[in-house]
Structure 1
Amino acid sequence: MNPLLKPFNTKYETAPFSQIKNEHFKPAFEAVISSAKKEIDVITSNKGIPTYQNTVEALEFAGMQMKRVSSVFFNLNSAETNEEIQKIAQEVSPMLSEFGNDIRLNKELFERVKAVYDIKDELNLTDEQEMLLDNQYKMFVRNGANLNEDDKIKLREIDKKLSKASLKFGENVLAETNAFELHITDENQLKGLPEGTKEAAKLVAKQKEKEGWVFTLDYPSYVPFMTYLEDRNLRKKMAKAFGARSFKNNKNNNENIVLEIVNLRHQRANLLGYKTHADFVLEERMAESPEKVMTFLNDLLTKAKPAALREFNQIKSSASKDDIETIQKWDGAYYSEKLKKELFDLDEEQLKPYFKLENVLDGVFTISNKLYDLNFEEINDIDKYHEEVKTYKVTDSNNNFISIFYADFFPRKGKRNGAWMTSYKSQWKRNGENSRPHISIVCNFTKPTETKPSLLTFNEVTTLFHEFGHALHGMLANTTYPSISGTSVYWDFVELPSQVLENWCYEKEALDLFAKHYETNESIPMELVQKIKDSSNFLEGIATMRQLSFGLLDMSWHGENPSEIKSVKEFEDTAFKDTKLYPDVKENCMSTAFSHIFQGGYSSGYYSYKWAEVLDADAFEYFKEKGIFNKEIAQKFKENVLSKGGTEKPMTLYKKFRGKEPNANALLKRAGLLK
């Protein structure tokens, strides 16, 4: 019997990973899609008058098993993939896309939803019910319900092609990342590298049955290499390899795929009556329109650019001491680190012993307990998809079951780069039961070596807090409907819970809870905490420009008609012109590996990181006024933001928490960009 086709009769109803084989997936998808179609048929063949219950709620809870199978499969495709899974993904993605269109273009179903929508003012709905109804109605309209039959067929074709193209994009980037390695046998070439980085590279070499050291394009290998290695030619080699992913003349090239994706998205938006893909996307965001986003980005650019240019000149003068006349991209991280050491006497390597992964994880658990009364207990009686994954049962102070939490921390061959939060099961309420979520975070941190535990850089510490903030949003979900539960909120609101939690990493009161030396257990010294705070704005102008450049590139791809674009590289260079600091590298291109917008869900949404920073700086200012562990403020944040999902408009929820709209000055002040 296919384990995906029966109820998960496991403890907490977790996914039975050990029983699931690759060959189970495709038949499972065929079966769950078929049963979901039957559930839809029951709704459309109902002879009774359309009501909220027999139409809107019935549609919301249709296909639950299909959603469950999809979450298991696509999460594995990101965190523990192989060629077989990738092949299945290429086969099932068009099937799911087709099924999605079957629903969205189902005339009878739309007419029933519309019948309820047209009388909604008479129905005395709760805020949440009204939001679900609005979402369903818009889902149909924004996906072609009002199109004629020919255009509906065109839309289906576009959607099928899009789902295949974005999967292929991601596979190519992963293949390119895995294909490169820098093998070094002469230890003299490794001058400047921290011992931990060398040890990790030795471990990789050993695993590949090679002598010496092997460096890869995975972040825990790539970032310290670029930050500390003295050998400029090797840094150049590594940077060029990273920047050339899927931009080489080989089978993993993504240039045509990028053009295909942006053109398909544009055609789709036009078909639905929108000027551009960005117009289509932003209708359902806090930012509302491309014009507003561009104003927001350009306004921040105006404020950040003078600081960025000043900082860039500081880096150039640091490099000039080594007789470097023209500073290049592969010099940036190296000389920034030197400058940081010079200005703040702060070396990332000094900090790492205080950030043992297990301690940082305990720290984020303790902070969540102090703020939101959550308890985390490691359990070993549920299945994992990989032996490295840790599993936890989350309860509240009354011992109520809140969530299952999976944590997966280290890079491996089948895992894409970066860090993300996801869920294996949403939260919802039905028939008197509050069905709790299963939440996961996936990262790529430095692995433990034979002599040292996993010691995190400060950047990795903030990454862990960031993803954990998303996880809290998922775990504390407390809504009736799964489609508006947890992180199912407007995209430019979703980063608020994650980014706000990063602020605790800079506070002594929080650091004292977990930043302890892994050998001596002594707390992080006050002078190091002060240096972390002092240096928190270090090169903030450049960092802001970098984020803005990605946002502007995204808006360039999606905010205009792309049909005349011939060269991905030339187009990208034009988009970057106002934010460019380093000389261009002709063999490199960012778009061909920009997974956030071409594989993830961030198309026309990359600006939202900065948008959410405005919210998070403003929100944290509120905590600071009252105390960073103030229970009353934490409770307001939990009740109005973390537990509410997408049940109301984001600005409404934010104002319920804060009492007013956010003010961008809090961000500029924190970033040191406000004179």
Structure 2
Amino acid sequence: SKHIEDRSLLIGLPNAVQARMEVAAQAAGLTGWLLTLSTQSYRDIVNYADNRDLRREMMAAYYSRASGTGPDDLITNNERVLTVLLDDRHKKAQLLGYSNFAQLAVADQMADTTEQVVDFLHHQIELSRSLFAQDAEQVESFAAQHGITDVKPWDIHYFAEKIRQDMAGISQEAFRNYFPLETVLQRLCAFTKTLFGVDLIEHAAADTWHEDVRVFELREYAEPIGYLFINPYRRQEAAGFGDASGLRNRRITAEGRPRSPLAVLNSRLQPPTETQPCLLDHLQLRVLLHEFGHCLQHLLTVAPYRAISGIGQLSHDSSEFVSQVLEQFCFKQSFLIWLSGHFQTGQPLPDDIAYRVKRFVHTQTSWETASLLLAGLVDFELHRTYGDGRTPHDVFTSVNAEVGLLQWPGDTRPVNSFEPLGSDYGARTYSYKWSGVLARQAFERFEREGLFNPTTGKAFRDAFITQGDTRPLMTSLELFLGRS
């Protein structure tokens, strides 16, 4: 963490961000403001802080996590841990008859071979080359206009955000005012009813593990079919922006009785302050819809066996597919207007602002695309090429050069804090991009037939959710698109 007592260092940060940092300092028994190395804090600083040195310091610290740069190197250097993990996975794959762990990882995915995955990622990189060059040139030109002729890694996100605001004529702060969490949750309940035909009814008096956790019962034809726990706020320095998990899978007992599924959505949003409720920017809204999609996929299945009914049992490309379709709604003006309600007036997002938001989120997108492709390819190559004498950082450096857009402060080790490597997403992180390409195809039907068309919603539920993990995703997609 970094304790700041000079407010001038925070110029450029939105008032709401500064307020959160002030609350963090008070919680630590300090005056002033406290910066941490959470993903949200990192994003706030590199996107908004006018102070270039502060951006540099934050980026260097964030990408040096778990790299053993201090006196406790043996304890905090994650490269040793990654090496052991990769070695164990490699041995496991060989015991099961595979040449490497990447081969084992794709055995239950859509891809037939590791070569197919590598070719897919390389193809996506090539498709993005011209946009990468265009966005990089735009950042350099804009930075030069503001006196920065030598653009450093810690300048990129800052100027990309300035370009978005300049071209769209709107900031994330103006957007957030229209998306208080309470309004968004109410609209999501209505959206679920319209599109999938089920009611989400809150149980205000339900017993939970924390007072902030909210419980919703899913009902269909007036009968309960599952329960959703929403854990909205970040209370610890948890990683990432959110996640979803299943507490219990649906199943039919030996006595023929259904056991209802339970799902948890952790959105890790900043809690409300004395002056403002919890407000969501566009990325947070996307994350919420993404994780909400995971929960719906877990709760709306009618599969009778727990081995095929939960999101934990799905292949990663299948589980990410439904969530990424839900994300697509966040890029449509009509949906954003319908979902919105100003936290002070309750008024929906005006048409002209919705248009500006659309332009904002479609500007300077290369950095997100490149990060996704880099993560997918680094993860896959670490497992596919293990044993060739390269360290995890060597693999990262090689793949980063191939992608060719992203830059990092010297002596940092981004791969050391790459969390999917330590999860069951190992060698499967590419599935985000893989399923994203397919999700875009599926969403085209919603665009043609209407975002709130219940017939399309039922067809989507029947094709991708109802039967659980009983058929390949591509078969379901062909059915949904009428190609079979």
Q: Normalised by the size of structure 1, how large is the TM-score?
A: 0.69
8 Å Cα contact 2:218-2:225 kept in structure 1: yes
Are positions 1:507 and 2:318 aligned together? no
8 Å Cα contact 2:139-2:159 kept in structure 1: yes
Distance 1:611 1:586 in 2: 31
* Deviations 1:287-320, CA, capped at 9 Å, x for gaps: 1211001111111111101111110110111112
Distance 1:609 1:472 in 2: 18
The residue aligned with 1:653 is: 476
- For the aligned residues, what is the CA RMSD? 1.6
User: 1:632 offset after TM fit, Å?
Assistant: 1.4
Are positions 1:527 and 2:352 aligned together? yes
The residue aligned with 2:464 is: 641
* Deviations 1:48-69, CA, capped at 9 Å, x for gaps: xxxxxxxxxxxxxxxxxxxxxx
* Deviations 1:372-425, CA, capped at 9 Å, x for gaps: 1222222144332222211111212x2110211111122222744331110111
The residue aligned with 1:471 is: 295
Distance 2:408 2:260 in 1: 50
8 Å Cα contact 1:354-1:515 kept in structure 2: yes
SS across alignment from 2:286? helix
| C-alpha distance 562-387 of structure 1, shift in aligned 2 (>3 A) | farther
The residue aligned with 2:224 is: 401
SS across alignment from 1:354? coil
Distance 2:447 2:99 in 1: 43
Are positions 1:269 and 2:89 aligned together? no
Distance 1:505 1:650 in 2: 23
Number of residue pairs aligned between Structure 1 and Structure 2: 478
* Deviations 1:221-275, CA, capped at 9 Å, x for gaps: 2212221110010111111111011012432220101111111111221222211
1:552 to 365, 377, 387: 377
Q: How does 1:332-351 map to 2 (within 5 A)?
A: 332-351=156-175
2:185 to 361, 378, 391: 361
Distance 1:384 1:329 in 2: 43
Are positions 1:206 and 2:26 aligned together? yes
| C-alpha distance 583-505 of structure 1, shift in aligned 2 (>3 A) | closer
8 Å Cα contact 1:219-1:444 kept in structure 2: no
8 Å Cα contact 1:410-1:447 kept in structure 2: yes
- Please, which moves more after superposition, 499-508 or 364-373? 499-508
Distance 2:354 2:237 in 1: 37
Q: How does 1:537-616 map to 2 (within 5 A)?
A: 537-562=362-387, 564-565=389-390, 567-598=391-422, 600-616=423-439
8 Å Cα contact 1:327-1:582 kept in structure 2: no
8 Å Cα contact 1:512-1:524 kept in structure 2: yes
User: 1:583 offset after TM fit, Å?
Assistant: 4.1
Q: How does 1:320-469 map to 2 (within 5 A)?
A: 320-396=144-220, 398-413=221-236, 415-430=238-253, 431-469=255-293
| C-alpha distance 533-324 of structure 1, shift in aligned 2 (>3 A) | same
Aligned residue type for 1:217: L
Are positions 1:225 and 2:50 aligned together? no
User: 1:485 offset after TM fit, Å?
Assistant: 0.5
1:314 to 138, 151, 155: 138
8 Å Cα contact 1:227-1:337 kept in structure 2: yes
The residue aligned with 2:59 is: 239
SS across alignment from 1:214? strand
The residue aligned with 1:79 is: none
Distance 2:37 2:394 in 1: 25
* Deviations 1:305-337, CA, capped at 9 Å, x for gaps: 111111011011111223223222211221011
Aligned residue type for 2:51: D
1:291 to 106, 115, 120: 115
Distance 2:137 2:237 in 1: 41
Q: Normalised by the size of structure 2, how large is the TM-score?
A: 0.95
8 Å Cα contact 2:225-2:261 kept in structure 1: yes
User: 1:628 offset after TM fit, Å?
Assistant: 1.2
Aligned residue type for 2:125: L
8 Å Cα contact 2:378-2:395 kept in structure 1: no
Distance 1:498 1:348 in 2: 23
* Deviations 1:625-656, CA, capped at 9 Å, x for gaps: 11111111111111121112101222222222
Distance 2:145 2:442 in 1: 42
* Deviations 1:142-191, CA, capped at 9 Å, x for gaps: xxxxxxxxxxxxxxxxxxxxxxxxxxxxxxxxxxxxxxx12111111111
Gaps of 5+ in 2: none
8 Å Cα contact 2:370-2:403 kept in structure 1: yes
Distance 2:443 2:334 in 1: 15
The residue aligned with 2:315 is: 490
Distance 1:391 1:381 in 2: 9
User: 1:605 offset after TM fit, Å?
Assistant: 0.8
- Please, which moves more after superposition, 332-341 or 541-550? 541-550
Distance 1:463 1:583 in 2: 25
Percent same amino acid among aligned pairs?
Answer: 26
SS across alignment from 1:273? coil
* Runs of 4+ that moved beyond 6 A: none
8 Å Cα contact 2:371-2:406 kept in structure 1: no
Aligned residue type for 1:259: T
Gaps of 5+ in 1: 1-180, 662-675
Distance 1:416 1:526 in 2: 35
The residue aligned with 1:536 is: 361
Distance 1:246 1:458 in 2: 30
| C-alpha distance 342-428 of structure 1, shift in aligned 2 (>3 A) | same
Distance 2:31 2:277 in 1: 23
Distance 2:151 2:328 in 1: 32
